[in-house]
Amino acid sequence: MFEIITKKQLGAKISYMVISAPLVAARAMPGQFLIVRADIDGERIPLTICDFDRDKGLVTIVFQAVGAETERMSRLEAGDCFADVVGPLGNPSDLCDTPISELKKKNILFIAGGVGTAPVYNQLKWLYDNGVKVDCIQGARTRDLLILEDEMKTVTRNLYFATDDGSYGIHGNVCVALQQLWDEGKRYDHCVVIGPIIMMKFACQLTKKLGIPTVISMNTIMVDGTGMCGACRLLVGGEVKFACVDGPEFDGWEVDFDQALQRSRLYKTEEGRLMLKLQEGDLHSGNCGICS
């Protein structure tokens, strides 16, 4: 059993939990994810790692209650236990494989949207602890939906906020913020974007126009997390990839976002799931539990 050491609410539907999981914490790296089960009857929920403490054997998750299972998870309190915390899974961030001396020469920008701020924080903290200072744009519809603001300020060189309604920071979405910084003379060699698919799509369109190589995370489309269900199938550079085993990070310029968005919409209806099965043939395993 994996005890919840700390639990707090970051928003109306967003939970922050620190969990005792020494073996997971010992091997965790930025960019990776966990599979969490509330109890023995619970569903497997893939969640990116927000933070980890190897010495104390702790991992931190942040998740939004969007369905019955995550709602049940959100009702757990400090002292309660998860039945399973499995990981770390997926591949670490590409930045982890780059020599620190090379990273220090780069001008790196992160763009975080919504709950995508949690995995961004993990990468920012790792870079900061290794002496690499980077900028970040954090976006949300309104100021009330911004999370981990104080924590993000401690691990960035410059932290820019963007809100759709103009209630805090730059008035507009993250693309408006990036264009404004670019117009002011800011230049970047590398960009990492994590958030809703539609946000990542338009952010990549802009970074491609500006010539900033960009990495995105497709953790939001994962279901099983082991490569067996096929739910996180996507096209990257015209090749079929699976976010959980091939990613979750990919070259943002190569991801077919339109196909990913269409696929996520089709999964919501029985007719749509049948259409996916027909279109994808042998590449559609149907083992995610959604199609069946």
> What is the total residue count of the chain?
292
CB-hemisphere CA count at 13 Å for 233?
A: 22
pLDDT band at 158 (very low <50, low <70, confident <90, very high): very high
At 287, the pLDDT band (50, 70, 90 cuts) reads very low
pLDDT (tens digit, 9 = 90+) per residue, 259-271? 888 876 655 544 4
User: What pLDDT, on a 0 to 100 scale, did the predictor assign at position 292?
Assistant: 46
Assess whether the previous peptide bond of 30 is cis (omega < 30° from 0).
Answer: no
Which residue matches tokens 């990919």? Answer: 250
Query: Are the beta carbons of 110 and 192 closer than 8 angstroms?
Result: yes
Q: For 192-218, what is the mean pLDDT? A: 96
Mean pLDDT rounded to a whole number for the chain:
88
User: Torsion-angle region of residue 60: left (phi > 0), alpha (psi -120 to 50) or beta?
Assistant: beta
Q: Which of 123, 249, 262, 111 is nearest to 173 (CA)?
A: 111
257, 142, 145, 133: which is closest to 206 by C-alpha?
257
Could you tell me the two tokens for 5? 């050491």
pLDDT at position 222 over 90: no
Is pLDDT above 90 for 57? yes
pLDDT at 220: 79
> Which of the pair, 165 or 269, is modelled with greater confidence?
165
**How much is the pLDDT for 26?**
96
For helices 270-280 and 257-266, angle between their N-to-C axes, nearest 10 degrees: 130
Q: What is the pLDDT of residue 275?
A: 47
Q: Which residue has the higher pLDDT, 169 or 283?
A: 169
d(CA 34, CA 92): 12
Domains and CATH numbers, the chain: 2-89 (2.40.30.10), 94-217 (3.40.50.80), 221-292 (no CATH)
Cα dihedral value 260, 265, 271, 274, nearest 10: 20
The per-residue pLDDT for 259 is: 87
The confidence score (pLDDT) of residue 273 equals 46
Model confidence at 280, in pLDDT bands (50, 70, 90)?
A: low
